[in-house]
Amino acid sequence: MESLLAAKPLFLASLQSGDYVGFTFFIGSMAMMAASVFFFFEMNNVEGKWRTSLLVSGLITFIAAVHYYYMRDFWIENGTSPTELRYIDWILTVPLMCVEFYLILKAFGAKIGLLWKMIFYSLIMLVAGYLGETVFRDSSPLWGFISTIGYVGILYEVWFGSAKKLADGSNDPVLQRAFKTLAWFVFAGWAIYPIGYMTIEGSGWLSGVLASSSMDLIYNIGDAVNKIGFGLVIYSLAVASKSSVATA
């Protein structure tokens, strides 16, 4: 019995004061969990056509909550980046964010091809980023560049491409406002991640300027802003469109 207790890892006890990255892993896992509960429960308070969008918002934060739970422990135990868990999370949640764009534009003629195109760009972005952080660490700028091509593809879709055109053609000011906010999240919110990536020790452009431990701090901030913020925009859209129907 005693040896069993001794073998149990006491992660909570080992969060050191001054471990700010560790703090953000704990805050992140709790915030993602709370956001999921919020989105799941609020599904009942929005009009039928918005329920799937809210469900997807909740799934995004829920998938992140589970990964943060593991990443937290990984960080406490090793003091290094949980790169694999991070990218497994992103490879699930980023395509789901593309699904959000597709869902809100579906009523205005979005085709499934748009969704696949955005998912394809996400895969280029994330696979190249993963390779640059792991196997090809010494040439991380090159892989960061390839990753950025995927990122720019998504940016193009939501700022100038077919997604943008569908939103413009919708004649729905509530949708247009929400779409614009989401497009800003992709432009400014997602741009947080490459900054984290550039802290890769040795080859990263910011290596020596920022400590390499700031990578996880930056990624954690990015995830909180983007996953919870993005979901809240969808939620506001659902609520606003309900009241605009009621007052019409």
Ligand X SMILES: *C/C=C(C)/C=C/C=C(C)/C=C/C1=C(C)CCCC1(C)C
Sites of contact with ligand X (CB under 6 A): 90, 93-94, 125-126, 129, 144, 147-148, 151, 190, 193-194, 197, 223, 226-227
Nearer to ligand X, 34 or 245 (CB): 34
- Minimum distance, C-beta of residue 98 to ligand X, in the bound complex (Å): 10
CB 219 within 8 A of CB 193: yes
The conformational region for residue 125 under phi > 0 = left, psi -120 to 50 = alpha, else beta, is alpha
Q: What angle do CA 102, 51, 103 make, to 5 degrees?
A: 5
* Neighbouring C-alpha atoms within 13 Å toward the C-beta of 27: 14
Give the other-Cβ count within 10 Å of 168's Cβ.
Answer: 11
SS3 assignment, position 10: coil
- C-alpha 121/C-alpha 223 separation (Å) is 19
Give 210's strand partners. 207
CB 54 within 8 A of CB 43: yes
Nearer to ligand X, 126 or 237 (CB): 126
SS3 assignment, position 207: strand
Nearer to ligand X, 102 or 190 (CB): 190
- Minimum distance, C-beta of residue 242 to ligand X, in the bound complex (Å): 27
The gap from C-alpha 187 to its chain's centroid, in whole angstroms, comes to 13
Nearer to ligand X, 216 or 241 (CB): 216
CB 128 within 8 A of CB 164: no
Closest residue to ligand X, judged by C-beta, is 129
Nearer to ligand X, 204 or 241 (CB): 204
- Minimum distance, C-beta of residue 97 to ligand X, in the bound complex (Å): 6
- Minimum distance, C-beta of residue 77 to ligand X, in the bound complex (Å): 23
- Minimum distance, C-beta of residue 24 to ligand X, in the bound complex (Å): 15
- C-alpha 94/C-alpha 2 separation (Å) is 44
- Minimum distance, C-beta of residue 110 to ligand X, in the bound complex (Å): 20
Nearer to ligand X, 185 or 241 (CB): 185
- Minimum distance, C-beta of residue 14 to ligand X, in the bound complex (Å): 27
Q: Which residue has the tokens 């308070």?
A: 45
